[in-house]
Structure formats: structure tokens, C-alpha cells
Amino acid sequence: MYRGRIARSCLDGALIVEATFDAIVIGSGITGGWAAKELTERGLKVLMLERGHPIEHGRDYPGEHKNPWDEKFRGQGNRKKLDEEYPIASGGAGYSVKDGNLHFWMNEKENPYVSDSARPFNWYRAGGLGGRSLLWGRQTYRWSDLDFGANAQDGNGVDWPIRYADIQPWYDHVEDHVGISGQAEGLPHLPDSKFLPPMELNCVEKHCREKIAENFPGRILTIGRTAILTKAHKGRAACHYCGPCYMGCSTGSYFSTQSSTLPAAQATGRLSVRTDTVVEGIDFDPKRKRATGVRVIDARTGQKETLAARLIFLCASTVASTQILLNSRSEHAPDGLANSSGVLGKYLMDHHLGLSAIGVMPGFDQQDTFGRRPNGIYIPRFKNLGDEGSKESFLRGYGYQGRALRSGWEMGNTLPGFGVKLKESLRKPGPWIMALSGFGECLPNEENRVTLDAEKVDRFGIPQVEVSFAFGENEQKMRDDAAEEAAAMIQASGGVVLVKMANMSTPGDGIHEMGTARMGRNPKTSVLNANNQTHDVPNLYVTDGSCMTSSACQNPSLTYMALTARACAHAVGEMKTGSI
């Protein structure tokens, strides 16, 4: 659906295409989808670029509602193929890499990157239209002034140029469209969203909620706040609890680009989408101090083109957007575009996460659940909230995600025996267990960074990304504390703790990478201003995770969406005044 006219051929064989678009959006994931929706609904003609292949809503979800035993490899995938071509995705997030959704993921063998062996980083990448919006966990939490003011409070990183009051109307705006189910709890450090009805806690979770509140004043166990519909909303159906969300959702019950923002943008008649289009870099006119075009490569033919537009939104995901900016070098931007500060690629962050404690919960063997609730529980941060009585050995804080569940026939994977007796034993459900996994904040650290390898290039001739990352002492102290507190809450709820763990996750496994093109008040120490507009290039906006100035401990996608919608309003306003 690409519209444009070839103006002339460059000496290197690339084509320059005259602009018939007001804006180019690079990336089709959560923020790219929102940028396309907001810009088209505000009257702009928009071209969306996606390096992956097309994925059509519904039609291209072949694994949806398919039983694992109906798959060639019983739903586990071809292990040899996964190990060779998808080693990171299948190794860490392997629960969601299956035969029926392999096309959602990027082939890692064909698209390598460099990871420092002493400071490794796992980069999980989607391979098609919609990006990771088809793969995300859908947990959606607002940030508060505790989060936006943290850097200024303790001196780590630079101060955010915004506060909760600046983004609150945009949280409202996004939630109106997405549909967030959850329970209002009235916590100042975790503001309530505009909620659809909450999913129900199961019997053990209700019991733990009561016991935690009774034994730990100020702590709350609540149902997860999730971008999954509990009632019909804006043409999308309520969730029917089928379970395997990672296979795609043809009813649109969970939020994705395909189910929500892309149809909205297409309905305006002002959106064109181009897939299999790799962005090499962004051109810059030093006289006008404006971005003039996007250099692209056709992933199927290798043909190079330069596409022009008045406005560019970079939404390719944190590491990919940083790669594009760093590779947009020129005589006037030798260290990468929009990098006069020198901080582009630095201060990479990710949440540390993992099982903190798990315990058996006796006394509920006569109760069971119905359906596959696609959501767990959440225990919001309860330490370092600014009160004098909660001084800890670490800065910032953590929360818990988890769930109570009853073991099913899958427990036979680890039980001894075979034959009739084993099969009979699996007809009865096992014990109830409670699992709590801590999600902790990561402090901004200049040494955690994304650069370009000086020698290695990918199959398109683009310098490969090199990532170097390590969690620090503060993060480990948090994990130690999270393990102790998780065990204490399970015990206080009458559980028998089986496992208590303080292991540090591999950076990247949170799949919440952020921070390499941070927002800030000072152009000398940040890449973006308060409106996600680059300090150096006024018609270039960056709204994916790279814009984040700190990480908080909540899942960040809702904040990405709100910042994107806010930035789009600002950009269109600037265009109307002639500023860009």
C-alpha cells in the first residue's frame, strides 16, 4: 500500500522517493501502532515501516486454539531448529515460542548481534508486523511521582522532565482505547487506571490477600492490571479464557497493534504500511537542522531507497532505535544522529526478575478453578516509599507478580513411574501452590550500553549492535530482600515454603529494555526533551523504551503508549505552527 514517486537514482543505486506522506513511523509494535493511530486521526498521511514480514490479524494465528498434541512436535517445537535459529527466544521466554507462533519471532541466526560474554544481554526480538505487541505479557501499570522523581531524589541518572500530572491525561486517553481490567486500590504510589471489571482472584489468592493485609500493614495483593478485556470494548470481544495468548488472539480480547491501533489508523484512510523494510539510517540537513529522509533496504530484494517526510517517529524498540540513530552518522553528526550530548546508547536498563519463593498451600484441596485466566496477581512495591520508617539497604524498590494454581496432569513430567498407575494418579489434581516473582528497578548506569561493532555487519551491511550490561550491587540487594519477604508472606498465609531464591536474572530477560535515548531537561545530558522530541533534530521524535530516564519497577508499556500519544499531539501542534 506504499504511495510515492521515484524522483531520481543515486550514484550508489539507491532510489530517492519524493514524499507523499506527512510522517514516517519506524516500527509497528506497541508505540509504532499508537503513533500511526494518533497521527492519522489528527489528519496526517502516515507511512509505517516494519522490517519484518506481514502478519494479518486472525488469519496468521495458526496456533490459536490448537492442542499441543495436534502439533508435529507436540507444541514444543523442533528443538534443533530452535537451538540454531531462535536460541535466546526459546531459551528464556520458551513458554511462548511454539510451533504455532514461530513466525512472530525474529530468526536470530539471520539477524545476529554482539553480546559481551562478561556482561551478557539477551535481546528478544519480534519478526513481523505488530512486533512484540503480539507477544507481550499485557501487564499495565501507571507510574507515579515516586517514579518520575526518583532520579532527582537520590541522584542516580538525570531528572525526568515530566511528572505524573503531565502524563496523567494521556494515561486516561490510552486506557479509554485499550481497555484495562483491574481493581482500584487507592495507592498513591501506584495510581489507579480507568478500569474495566477485574478478573477474579482464586480461592488461595483471596486467602493470601487477607493474610498479607492482616500480617503486613500497608501491603496489598491485588489482581493484575492487564490489557485484556473483561467485557466487550470498542468492537473487541471479552476474553473467553482459552489460555494461550501467545498464539495470537483473533477476538482482539488482548491489546495488540493488529487488534486495536492498526485498524483505527487504517479506518482514517490516511495510513500506508510497508513490511520487509529494513531501516538503515536517517538523513539530516545541517543547514535546516531537520531530518530529511529515512534510508531503507528491501529485505527481499536488497534494493535501497530513501523515503522522505516532514516528520519522523522512531518506534523500533529500544535497541533497534538506538542502532538506527548511531548508524545515522554524518560529517555533522559523527557520533550518531541526535547525539550531541554523547549519551545516546548509554544508561540501558531492564528489570531484574525471577521466582523469589514458592510454597504449598494446604487446606484447599476441595476447591478448584474453571477456565484459564490469562492473568496473575500483583503485590505493589511496599518499601522505600518516602516514609522515614522504611529505610532499606538498597535504593528504589520492587513488586511481585505471581499466582496461586493447582498442579494438573503436567506434574507427570517430573513424577516417577509409568503405565496405568501413573495415568490414574494424574487424573487427580495435585496440591495448591503459591508462587511470587519479584520485579525490581534497575538504576541508570553509564556502563550499561549499546554501541555498534566496528567490524561486524549484518546481512544488509549494517553494523551489528553490541550490547554490554550487568546488574549491580543495589539490584542484588533487592533480590535478596525480595526472596526473604516473599517467603515470609507465604508462611504468614499458612503455606509451606518449598523454594526461596535470590538469583539474578540475565539482563534482557525482563524484555523491558529501556533508557538509551533518555528524556531530560538539559540537552547536554539527554537526547530527548519533555515531549520526546530530540534536542538536536526538532522533526524527529523517539517514543519507544529508549526514551525512559529511569525504569521504576512496574511494567513500562502503558507509559510508552501514553508518552507516544502525548508526543504525537505535540508534533502535530508544532507542524501547524510551522515550527517543524
> Residues 295-309: pLDDT tens digits?
999 999 999 999 999
Query: In which residue ranges of the chain is CATH 3.50.50.60 found?
Result: 1-179+255-348+513-580
When pLDDT is averaged across residues 482-505 and rounded to a whole number, the result is 97
Question: Chain-wide mean pLDDT for the chain?
Answer: 93
The backbone torsions φ and ψ at residue 480, rounded to the nearest 5 degrees and listed phi first, read -60, -45
Q: What is the pLDDT of residue 247?
A: 92
6 pLDDT exceeds 50? no
Mean pLDDT along residues 322-350 = 97
**25-39, 370-384, 539-553: which range is least confident on average?**
370-384
| Span 44-50, average pLDDT | 98
Number of Cβ within 10 Å of residue 231's Cβ equals: 12
The per-residue pLDDT for 368 is 83
Give me the pLDDT at residue 413, please: 60
Return the pLDDT at 484: 98
Q: Which pLDDT tens digit goes with each residue over 214-230?
A: 999 999 999 999 999 99
Average pLDDT over residues 18-22: 79
Q: Band the pLDDT of 370: cuts 50, 70, 90.
A: confident
Tally of CA atoms within 13 A in the half-sphere of 2 that contains its CB: 18
**Per-residue model confidence (pLDDT) at position 429:** 81
CA-to-CA distance for 197 and 180, rounded, in angstroms? 9
pLDDT at position 475? 98
Question: Which DSSP category does 411 fall into?
Answer: G
Report pLDDT digits (tens) over 498-540.
999 999 999 999 999 999 999 999 999 999 999 999 999 999 9
pTM given for the model: 0.95
Task: Give the per-residue pLDDT at 16.
Answer: 64
**pLDDT at residue number 17:** 62
Local structure of residue 260 (DSSP, 8 states): I
The pLDDT of residue 5: 45
Report CA-CA distances (Å) from 376 to 199, 232, 400, 537: 9, 21, 10, 42
Residue 77: the pLDDT is 83
> Residue 323 — pLDDT band, cuts 50, 70, 90?
very high
Q: Could you tell me if 469 and 119 are in contact, meaning their C-beta atoms sit under 8 angstroms apart?
A: yes
DSSP β-ladder status, 15-18 and 304-307: parallel
Bridge-based pairing state of the strands 277-285 and 290-298: antiparallel
Asked if the model's pLDDT at residue 153 lies above 80, the reply is yes
Q: 578: buried, middle or exposed (CB in 10 Å: 19+, 13-18, 0-12)?
A: exposed
| pLDDT classification of 49: cutoffs 50, 70, 90 | very high
Query: Does residue 9 surpass a pLDDT of 50?
Result: no
Average pLDDT estimate for 203-213: 98
Confidence of residue 336 (pLDDT cuts 50, 70, 90): very high
pLDDT reported for residue 73: 85
3-state class of 72 per DSSP? Answer: coil
The rounded distance, in Å, linking the Cα atoms of 549 and 65 is: 40
Query: pLDDT value at position 93?
Result: 64
* Cα dihedral: 156, 161, 165, 170 (round 10): -110
Do residues 537 and 150 lie in contact, with contact meaning Cβ atoms separated by under 8 Å? no
Amino acid of residue 551: S
Q: What crossing angle do the helices spanning 473-492 and 203-215 adopt, rounded to 10°?
A: 110
pLDDT band at 449 (very low <50, low <70, confident <90, very high): very high
pLDDT, position 391: 76
pLDDT of residue 497: 97
Confidence class of residue 390 from pLDDT cuts 50, 70 and 90?
low
How large is the greatest C-alpha to C-alpha distance in the chain, in angstroms?
A: 80
> 557-577 and 164-178 are packed helices; what angle lies between their axes, rounded to 10 degrees?
100
DSSP at 543: -
How many residues are given for the chain? 580
All three cell numbers of 10: 543515486
Q: Which long-range contacts (CB under 8 A, 24 or more apart) does 205-210 make?
A: 205/377, 205/403, 205/404, 205/434, 207/361, 207/364, 207/493, 207/494, 208/361, 208/377, 208/404, 208/434, 208/489, 208/490, 208/493
Q: Hey, which CATH number is domain 1-179+255-348+513-580, 3.40.50.300, 3.40.30.10, 3.30.530.20, 3.50.50.60?
A: 3.50.50.60
Query: What's the grid cell of residue 472?
Result: 549491580
Task: Tell me the C-alpha distance between 257 and 135, whole Å.
Answer: 11
Please report which confidence band the pLDDT of residue 8 belongs to, taking 50, 70 and 90 as the band edges.
very low
Residue 175 CB partners (closer than 8 Å, separation 6+): 140, 193, 194, 558
Mean pLDDT of 44-57: 98
At residue 421, the pLDDT reads 77
Band (1; pLDDT cuts 50, 70, 90): very low
pLDDT band at 542 (very low <50, low <70, confident <90, very high): very high
| Alpha carbons 264 and 232: distance in angstroms, whole number | 16
Retrieve residue 442's grid coordinates: 534497575
CA dist 275 to 131, 265, 327, 473, Å? 11, 16, 21, 42
Rounded Cα gap, residues 470 and 456, in angstroms: 23
* Mean pLDDT (whole number) for 148-165: 97
> pLDDT > 70: what percent of the chain?
94
